[in-house]
Structure 1
Amino acid sequence: MITLCAFANTADDIKVIKQQDREVIERFKSYLNINTVQPNIDYYPAVDFLKKEAKRIGLESDVVEIVKGRPHVIIKWKGRDPSKKTVMLNSHMDVVPADPAKWNSDPFEAFWDLTNNNIYARGSQDMKCVGMQYLEAITNLKAQNFVPERTVYVTFVPEEEVGGHGGGMNDLVKSPHFDKLNVGFGLDEGLASPDEKFEVYYGERVAMWGIIEATGAVGHGSAFIKNTATEKINRVIQQIFNFRSSQEQELALRPNKRTGDVVSINLTSMKAGHTKDCGETYQMNVVPRTAQVGFDIRVTPHVPIKQVDEQVNKWASEEGVSIRWVQRSEEHHVTDLNDEHVKVFLDSLKSANVTFNTGVFPAATDARFLRAKKIPIIGFSPMNLTPVLLHDHNEYLNVDVYLRGITIYENVIKSITK
């Protein structure tokens, strides 16, 4: 017999749901309640929670620290054939900051708005939902006496929101701990989709972060001085925004293209004359000797990195102008959609009546570190009919969408672990 529970936010706001679903949602809320905001995170409350979840389900768990204070929780579901390559179901524990003043509820309360059936919390989309959906799907499969052929590792990693370095996934994949996992296929995060179709990502744009600096003539602030640093940097800025506009137009003129299919660039910092980096002391009536801009470029796999590199070098080709790269990638790594594991994954979605788009993730995820090791990995978060709110105020996920995602993962895990 199914027990029905009524619970409310107010006396007039009542929703009746199954007891089993209530327990699932309460576990999700418990994970969301744990503050894992960057920077300087205490991960151990989340680690303790996840270890207890593993024990509840009847799974083995291990904690690996490549860097002290940056734990990776690795939960193991042993398969029938340990000689086969394993499946990694990955998510990250850390979340970005949330300004309580801009939210309608405490970002870590995990407020359940029963009127619209939404849970508001930092991490509800990015990406504590996915980690818990993996575990709930495995809970249900074990209750059905399903045993995977391949071993499954459900991994909860740190430091994704700050680039995956400093003890994050970048360091894990280079360690002997990762080699022992023998991963043959993996899943990581995707994005929500505002319409009926889900999003499936086979690659992502690479980041190229650079600083262009100009040096020029100096003098009194009242004079018309030629070839100043700020004049030169202004010409660079104009070229950056012209290029940015061309990529925006590409999106507008080609409805079949999405953000991940073009190159984006944003100017992210400006300095002139009065900073330590520029080596000068600010004074309002002195034309500065140096000026610089920082920018963030994201290069789609559809465009060679060399081509973008050449473009940036042209922007910095004027005398007295130079470029310094803070971060740059030399090549793209994408997952072949014809890979046998990927085909099985996509077929599992189709068999569950899930319609989807395939594309390039517009930002960066930990999946790139596995793709660099030639491991096929797909980005997928089962959130359709949902606005994209990662890193935004009032981030939320609908309860029905969350529960359906668990069912989708049940079908996926059955298929990819054969």
Structure 2
Amino acid sequence: MDENGDIYARGAQDTKDIAIQYLEAIKRLKNDNVTLPRTLHITIMTDEESGSAQGMKVFVNTTEFKTLNVGFALDEGQTTPGDTILASFVDKRAWSMCFTIRGVGGHGSLMPDGTGMDNFHTFLNVVYDYRDTQKAILKSVANSTVGAAAYTSININTVKGGIASNVIATEIQAIMDMRLATDANPQDMETMVNSWLRAAGNNNSVTYLRKDTESGITSVDNTNPFWVSMRDTLNGMGIRLEPVVKAAMSDATYLRNKGIPTLGFATKTRTIHRLHAKDEYQNVETFLRGIDIYTEVLKGLANVPSS
């Protein structure tokens, strides 16, 4: 912790903090002998960052999950530099793709046409032409209510290829992370991906490491009593709650896809977004205030009448 009370640690924002806040809030409710009509369950799941193949994605299909009889769920939320708390009601769909771009090889002293790197260069050009269009959309909606819903994010995060410094690489592999705009059609996106491959030659391929095509939506209006409870509880504490589209994807998607209303929620206000970046932090006062907020929010949610 520095002199400003900022705690620097992996997970200070994403999202060991929330797990601790849940536990502390429930501890307070128990210590205060609060009786709740609904049961509170905490799940600390594995594998969320890489697609939940061993976590929530499979857990929601188990008998154990069904016996919990979940009526509503909270999941990880977002940081915000302001005072308004954000609640995500839909996540963007995550695609992770491994592209293999191939070409001719040879001795490093030669300069043949159509090398693996030549074709990879062409591939990068067409990918980044599309990425530029999405960045333009991002900038155009930066201060609007549309936000992350409007654009598809795209980043090439790993690249590897070649076997020696004096041998022309015949194969380049690149892993791309893409998060689809909420109105993007998966078939259209796949057609576009295939066109990138063709632009770089006829002997290229793609393997989908992750390909989520569905992302359910939770109502954030008066038809959803859980939303009303959270909104009114926070308003009573002098806090505004704003619904947003989550720019990434979380385990909440798998719950929503099962018809369970779920909101991504966190209390990290007045905080610079540093998820997956260096100097991840959270101010100690923000963290402790978050426990107060969760205590009241959980109490309100657990008192929502059964339909």
TM-score range (shorter-chain normalised) is 0.7 to 0.9
For the pair 1:263 / 2:152, whether they are aligned, the reply is yes
* 1:361 paired residue number: 246
Question: What is the CA–CA distance in structure 1 between the aligned matches of 2:185 and 2:227, rounded to whole Å?
Answer: 24
Match of 1:141 in 2: 29
**Residues 161-208 of structure 1 deviation map (CA, whole Å, 9 limit, x = unaligned):** 444333x32332222211111101000111211112122111222221
Give the alignment's TM-score, normalised by structure 2.
0.86
Aligned to 2:42: 154
Once the two structures are TM-superposed, the CA of residue 220 in structure 1 deviates from its matched residue by 4.6
In the TM superposition, 1:193-342 aligns within 5 A as 193-254=80-141, 255-256=143-144, 257-259=146-148, 261-274=150-163, 282=164, 284=166, 286-318=167-199, 319-338=202-221, 339-342=224-227
> Which 5+ residue runs of structure 2 have no aligned equivalent?
none
- Is the Cα–Cα contact under 8 Å of residues 76 and 266 in structure 2 kept in the other structure? yes
Alignment map for 1:50-129 (pairs within 5 Å): 111=1, 113=2, 115-129=3-17
**How much identity, in percent, do the aligned residues show?**
31
Query: What's the secondary structure of 2:77's corresponding residue?
Result: coil
Partner of 2:234: 349
> Once the 2 structures are TM-superposed, how far is the Cα of residue 291 of structure 1 from its aligned partner?
3.0
RCO higher in structure (CA 8 A, sep ≥6): 2
| 1:232–1:321 contact (8 Å) kept in structure 2 | no
Verify the 8 A CA contact 2:137 2:150 in the aligned structure 1.
Answer: no
Q: 2:266 aligns with which of 347, 371, 381?
A: 381
Q: Tell me: CA distance 1:317–1:165, structure 2 relative to 1, closer, same or farther (3 Å).
A: same
Match of 1:65 in 2: none
Residues 224-266 of structure 1: per-residue CA shift (max 9 Å, x gap)? 5333332222111111111112211212223325445421111
| Aligned residues of 2:229 and 2:301 also touching (Cα < 8 A) | yes
Unpaired runs of 5+ residues, structure 1, are 1-110, 275-281
Hey, which of these two has a bigger chunk of strand by percent? Answer: 1
1:301 offset after TM fit, Å?
Answer: 1.8
Indicate if the aligned counterparts of 1:217 and 1:227 stay in contact, CA closer than 8 A: yes
Select the structure of larger CA radius of gyration: 1
Asked if the contact 1:200/1:379 (under 8 Å) is kept, the reply is yes
Deviation string for 1:92-122 (max 9, x for gaps)?
Answer: xxxxxxxxxxxxxxxxxxx4x4x32333333
Cα shift readout 1:208-232 (whole Å, capped 9, x = no counterpart)? 1112323334445444533333222
Distance 1:237 1:342 in 2: 43
Relative to the length of structure 1, the TM-score reads 0.65
Residue type of the alignment partner of 1:304:
N
Tell me, yes or no, if the aligned pair for 1:348 and 1:415 is still in contact at 8 Å. yes
Q: What is the CA RMSD across the aligned residues, in angstroms? A: 2.4
**Structure 1 position 143, deviation (Å):** 4.7
CA 1:290–1:347 in 2, change beyond 3 Å: closer, same or farther?
Answer: same
CA distance in 1, matches of 2:204, 2:280: 42
Q: 1:288 to 1:131 in 2, by over 3 A?
A: closer
Amino acid at match of 2:95: M
Is the Cα–Cα contact under 8 Å of residues 336 and 376 in structure 1 kept in the other structure?
yes
Other structure's SS at 2:287 match: helix
Number of corresponding residues? 297
- The Cα offsets for residues 16-49 of structure 1, whole Å up to 9 and x where unpaired, read as xxxxxxxxxxxxxxxxxxxxxxxxxxxxxxxxxx
* Kept in 2: contact 1:300–1:360 (CA 8 A): no
Stretch of structure 1 that moved more, 327-336 or 241-250: 327-336
The 3 A distance-change label for structure 1 pair 142 and 218 is closer
